[in-house]
Chains A and B, each alone.
Chain A
Amino acid sequence: MIVDVRDVEYEIASRVILSGLDLTVRRGRITAIMGPSGTGKTTLLKLITAEAAPTRGRVLVFGQDLATLDRAQVFAMRKRLGVLFQNGALLTDMDVFENVAFPLREHTDLSEPLIRALVVAKLNAVGLRGAAELMPAELSGGMARRVALARAIVMDPEILIYDEPFVGLDPISRGVILRLVRQMNDGLGITSIVVSHDVHDLAQIAHDSYLLSGGRVVAQGTPQELAASESAVVRQFMQGIADGPVPFHYPAPDLRTQLESVDER
């Protein structure tokens, strides 16, 4: 396995975000991490990229315990993975070409013609070779995410992490991203971790799935196994039921009591 999360707990400001979380990602596969909003999915990604450290437990990436790495080793580890941010996070003072070339210029001594060839190849892979001279502000949401994907793969990472890649996209752009996730995995052999709410899209591409709720894994298996699960929380999430084990209402006092207290005031 390429990522191994063992009995992880993460707490911030006395609030437990993750508790007793176990999760493994196998090399060369697409692993989906699903779950309701606020359940700790993005926090889990931050633990895997060493942006945050767990309060308890261990996170192993490429077999290395992240807690034992110093700053230089963390940076060396990060060079082997790519992250596609939800909003693309393109550098706004550079055009598309320079955004994709950025990691190459920072980490390699490649000649300019070679950098140009690599960038053009990556932009071609995401269908945006013709947009190389556009600035990020001139791109649509879907295009920005494709440019960010080209940038994420330009260093040929072993792991590619997608943070909510389908959010806010029209059906065509979602289809494009879905196809690209599959292509990156099949064509380049990149291990993919996809965090998303989008059950139906993920079912088309994921090999393994984890469902998180309340900061822990409540179900795991193939998307088909999750879809067939009898568990109430899994059924609620997979079928999009508004109320259930994950309550519709944010914790609040009894409605009658609260209304009466308003009257008294």
Chain B
Amino acid sequence: MSAVRVTGQLALFLLGLLAQCGPALARPRLVVQQIYNAGARSLIIVMLSGFFVGMVLGLQGFDLLQRFGSEDALGVAAALSLLKELGPVVTALLFAGRAGTSLTSEIGLMRATDQLNAMQIMAVDPLRYVVAPRFLGGVIAMPLLAAMFNVVGLFGAQLVGVQLMGVDRGAFWSQMQGSVELNDVWEGVVKSCVFGVACSLIAVHSGYTAEPTAEGVGLATTRTVVASSVLTLFLDYMLTAAFL
């Protein structure tokens, strides 16, 4: 029953939020500021993670493929892994830990210090002024971050595969170019957009409904990470199944 109630609350919250997204977009300054907060400030951790994930892909991929004498296919394997799975999923998990927690605690503390209440008394809807720009910022930032993750990841895979393990550079890139289709890219973009909506929604909802106490904000922040991670992996399975 509790899960049904939470889902219902989340759906109603999303409807209210979507109704405020239009007015929020009419004032792009707030949204751009939140894209900076959620996106640009997460760039370092996303790029660093992408680089290491790419390097691991290069090593593991090379080890696996050379058993079949197909190490030239390393470029395709790395690209498909990153574009379709690792890019969107790992970026979403990193987003939940870095930007999601920040969104939740910021909004939760605004509630705890009466700032949201003060806005309502000043006849300003906090959903429009505070929540919608942060939600939109997260939704827009996620695919951009995933794209950066993929680019840096490919660079890492190429660095290990080509520079270290000696895979032919031409084969690495040409096989990738020949085998990766637009649909593969499209699958990754759709996934990262869906994860962006899910993670941002959970983050702003947890903050907005947090108990106005130090403990309440802490619990809400934890809830953001746990719920976003589980939902991301669940949605990943569903979307993968849908694209096959």
Contact = CB atoms under 8 A, between A and B. Distances in A.
B120 interface: yes
Given A89-B114, A89-B115, A92-B113, A107 B123 contact: yes
Contacts of A87: 113-114
A89 B115 CA distance: 5
A89 B126 CA distance: 14
Interface string A42-80: 000000010100000000000000000000000110110
B241 interface: no
Nearest to B117: A89
Which of B113, B118, B129 has the largest count of A CB atoms less than 10 A from its CB?
Answer: B118
Interface of A: 49, 51, 75-76, 78-79, 81, 83, 85-87, 89-92, 102-103, 106-107, 151
A79 B114 contact: no
A205 to B, nearest CB: 23
Contact of A78 (B110, B114, B121, B129): B121
B118 A89 contact: yes
Interface residues of B, number: 14
29 contacts: A51-B117, A51-B120, A75-B123, A75-B125, A78-B121, A78-B122, A78-B123, A79-B123, A81-B121, A83-B118, A83-B121, A85-B117, A85-B118, A86-B114, A87-B113, A87-B114, A89-B115, A90-B115, A91-B115, A92-B110, A92-B113, A102-B122, A103-B122, A103-B124, A106-B122, A106-B123, A106-B129, A107-B123, A151-B122
Contacts of B124: 102-103, 106
Contacts of A81: 121
Contacts of A107: 123
Interface of B: 110, 113-115, 117-125, 129
Contacts of A83: 118, 121
Contacts of B129: 106
A107 B115 CA distance: 18
Given A89-B113, A102-B122, 5 more contacts: A75-B125, A78-B120, A85-B114, A89-B118, A106-B123
A103 B123 CA distance: 8
B61 to A, nearest CB: 45
B217 to A, nearest CB: 14
A107 B129 CA distance: 13
Nearest to B119: A91
Nearest to A45: B121
Which of A83, A85, A89, A107 has the largest count of B CB atoms less than 10 A from its CB?
Answer: A89
Contact of A49 (B115, B119, B121): B121
A72 B125 CA distance: 11
A58 to B, nearest CB: 21
A159 B113 CA distance: 23
B52 to A, nearest CB: 34
Contacts of A51: 117, 120-121
A135 B7 CA distance: 39
A78 B117 CA distance: 12
A83 B114 CA distance: 12
A151 B118 CA distance: 11
A75 B123 CA distance: 5
A92 B115 contact: yes
Contacts of B121: 49, 51, 78, 81, 83
Contacts of A79: 123
B123 A76 contact: yes
